[in-house]
Amino acid sequence: MIKPSNIEIDREKGNFHYPTSKYAFDAGVGLSEDVVKYISGVKNEQDWILDFRLKAHSIFEKKPMPTHWASRDLENIDFDVIRYYLAQGQQPSRTWDEVPDDIKKTFERLGIPEQERKFLAGVEAQFDSEAAYSRMKEDLEKEGVIFVGSTEGLRDYPEIFKKWFGKVIPTSDNKFSALNSAVFSGGSFIYVPPGVKLAQPLQAYFRINAENFGQFERTLIIADEGSEITYMEGCTAPKFETSTLHSAVVELVALKGAKIQYITVQNWSNNVFNLVTKRAMAEEEAEVRWIDCNIGSRLTMKYPGVILKGRKARGEVLSIALANDGQHQDTGAKMVHAASETTSNVIAKSVSIGQGRSSYRGLVQIPGHLEHCKNNTECDALLINSDSQTDTYPAIAIQGNENSVQHEASVSKVSAEQIFYMQQRGLNQAEAMSLYVNGFVNDLIREFPMEYSVELKRLIDLEMEGSVG
Residues of the shown chain interacting with other proteins in the complex, contacts defined by CB under 8 A: 1, 415-418, 420-429, 431-432, 435-436, 438-443, 461, 463-469
CA dihedral sign of residues 448, 450, 455, 459: positive
Output 169 or 454, the one with its CB closest to other proteins. 454
Output 2 or 339, the one with its CB closest to other proteins. 2
Query: What is the closest distance, in whole angstroms, from the C-beta atom of residue 451 to other proteins in the complex?
Result: 19
- Contact by Cβ (8 Å): 443, 19: no
Output 318 or 422, the one with its CB closest to other proteins. 422
Query: What is the closest distance, in whole angstroms, from the C-beta atom of residue 1 to other proteins in the complex?
Result: 7
- Contact by Cβ (8 Å): 186, 219: no
Query: What is the closest distance, in whole angstroms, from the C-beta atom of residue 420 to other proteins in the complex?
Result: 6
Task: Calculate Rg over the CA atoms of the chain.
Answer: 22
Query: What is the closest distance, in whole angstroms, from the C-beta atom of residue 390 to other proteins in the complex?
Result: 17
How many angstroms from the chain centroid is the CA of residue 127? 16
Q: At what angle do helices 175-183 and 33-42 cross, to 10 degrees?
A: 50
Query: What is the closest distance, in whole angstroms, from the C-beta atom of residue 419 to other proteins in the complex?
Result: 9
| Burial per residue of 451-465, b for 16 or more beta-carbon CB atoms within 10 angstroms, e otherwise | bbbbbbebbbbeeee
Query: E strands, 92-197, where?
Result: 122-127, 130-136, 146-149, 188-192
Supply the DSSP symbol for 201.
-
Output 44 or 412, the one with its CB closest to other proteins. 412
Q: Please provide residue 349's backbone torsions phi and psi, each rounded to the nearest 5 degrees.
A: -125, 135
Give Cβ neighbours of residue 428 (< 8 Å, ≥ 6 apart): none
Query: What is the closest distance, in whole angstroms, from the C-beta atom of residue 427 to other proteins in the complex?
Result: 5
Output 70 or 435, the one with its CB closest to other proteins. 435
- Cα–Cα nearest to 277, from 247, 239, 246, 306: 247
- Cα–Cα nearest to 73, from 299, 237, 286: 299
Output 33 or 463, the one with its CB closest to other proteins. 463
Per-residue H/E/C for 331-398: EEEEEEECCCCCEEEEEEEEEECCCCEEEEEEEEEECCCCCCCEEEEEEEEEECCCCCEEEEEEEEEE
Query: What is the closest distance, in whole angstroms, from the C-beta atom of residue 438 to other proteins in the complex?
Result: 7
Output 3 or 163, the one with its CB closest to other proteins. 3
Query: What is the closest distance, in whole angstroms, from the C-beta atom of residue 464 to other proteins in the complex?
Result: 6
Output 399 or 415, the one with its CB closest to other proteins. 415
